[in-house]
């Protein structure tokens, strides 16, 4: 793991984009593994700015998102499909038909999960963007998830729902109880991983991910066994790993 310390969220976003950019330039048909949440928003702004400057085209690229809430209508402003459209896809030339977000509405969730796993296996991710939960989750692989897991339905931990209540009028009861997520085994197939973490709330999770035992109690610790991971942190999130 290579840890890159930065001194602000803007710098963190720029550094993350500097790491990602060569893949976009060298591989016009790259497969991008994307995340939602607050962490990658600055990176997505960098991607949009460089696209608008005429330096990159996403026309032939494919994206595979990590996760989606279960049983939340896709039109809901906080569905991860809506998030991706609003924060990235609506502003670049990617073909929406090539953007993939797990189907949180499928009646047969297991079949939909298996399809998503098969799709990801057939389209190896060139660069995977990750955030990290305060409890060490990546995607929605909560503590205790097997490192061998593929796409599956999860029950979100109360802490995760509390953290995400900020997107649902600060009302935890409005936060979906379940989500569909790519599994840790799927994420580990990515050729290169860039994990973004900012803010004090992430400091302990970042420490456990980097210095703790490789243990399902901290799902992100599995990244210690991946050959190409960059962890880009601001001062607060990187406090214990200086």
Alpha carbon 130 to its chain's center? 4
State the nearest-atom distance from the C-beta of 57 to ligand F6R, in Å. 24
Task: Give the angle 202-151-228 at the CA atoms, nearest 5°.
Answer: 55
Catalytic pick among 46, 68, 126, 142: 142
- Binds ligand F6R by CB under 6 A, chosen from 9, 16, 32, 37: 37
Task: Give the angle 46-117-134 at the CA atoms, nearest 5°.
Answer: 55
Q: Which two tokens stand for residue 51?
A: 């696209």
Catalytic pick among 100, 137, 150, 152: 137
Q: How far is CA 233 from CA 13, 15, 65, 85, 128, in A?
A: 9, 10, 22, 25, 16
223 near ligand F6R, judged by CB under 6 A: no
Alpha carbon 201 to its chain's center? 17
Residues in 66-105 that interact with ligand F6R by CB under 6 A: 66-67
138 near ligand F6R, judged by CB under 6 A: yes
Q: Is 152 a catalytic residue?
A: no
Q: How far is CA 209 from CA 77, 171, 237, in A?
A: 31, 29, 12
Name the H helices within the chain. 9-26, 41-52, 80-87, 109-122, 158-164, 184-187, 203-211
Nearest residue to the partner ligand F6R, using Cβ: 131
Stretch of 11-19, 30-38, 105-113, 183-191 lying at the interface with ligand F6R (CB under 6 A): 30-38
Catalytic pick among 135, 141, 164, 198: 135
- Binds ligand F6R by CB under 6 A, chosen from 38, 82, 114, 189: 38
State the nearest-atom distance from the C-beta of 157 to ligand F6R, in Å. 11
35 near ligand F6R, judged by CB under 6 A: yes
Cite the active site residues: 67, 135, 137, 142
Report the interface residues with ligand F6R, using CB under 6 A: 35-39, 66-67, 131-133, 137-140
């Amino acid at each position: 793991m290579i840890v890159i310390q930065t001194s602000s969220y803007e710098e963190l976003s720029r550094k993350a984009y500097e790491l990602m950019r060569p893949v976009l330039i060298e591989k016009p048909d790259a497969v991008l593994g994307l995340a939602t949440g607050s962490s990658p928003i600055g990176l997505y702004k960098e991607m949009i700015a460089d696209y608008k400057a005429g330096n990159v085209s996403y026309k032939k690229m494919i994206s595979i998102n990590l996760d989606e809430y279960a049983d939340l209508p896709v039109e809901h402003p906080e569905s991860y499909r809506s998030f991706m459209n609003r924060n990235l896809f609506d502003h670049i030339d990617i073909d929406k038909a090539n953007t993939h977000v797990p189907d949180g509405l499928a009646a047969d969730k297991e079949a939909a999960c298996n399809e998503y796993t098969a799709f990801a296996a057939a389209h190896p991710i060139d660069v995977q963007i990750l955030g990290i939960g305060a409890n060490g989750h990546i995607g929605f692989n909560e503590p205790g998830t097997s490192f061998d897991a593929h796409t599956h339905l999860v029950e979100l931990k109360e802490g995760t729902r509390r953290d995400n209540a900020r997107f649902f009028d600060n009302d935890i009861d409005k936060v979906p109880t379940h989500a569909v997520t790519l599994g840790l085994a799927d994420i580990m197939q990515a050729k290169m991983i860039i994990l973004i973490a900012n803010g004090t709330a992430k400091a302990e999770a970042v420490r456990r991910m980097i210095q703790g035992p490789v243990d399902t109690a901290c799902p992100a610790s599995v990244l210690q066994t991946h050959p190409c991971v960059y962890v880009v942190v601001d001062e607060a999130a990187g406090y214990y790993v200086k």
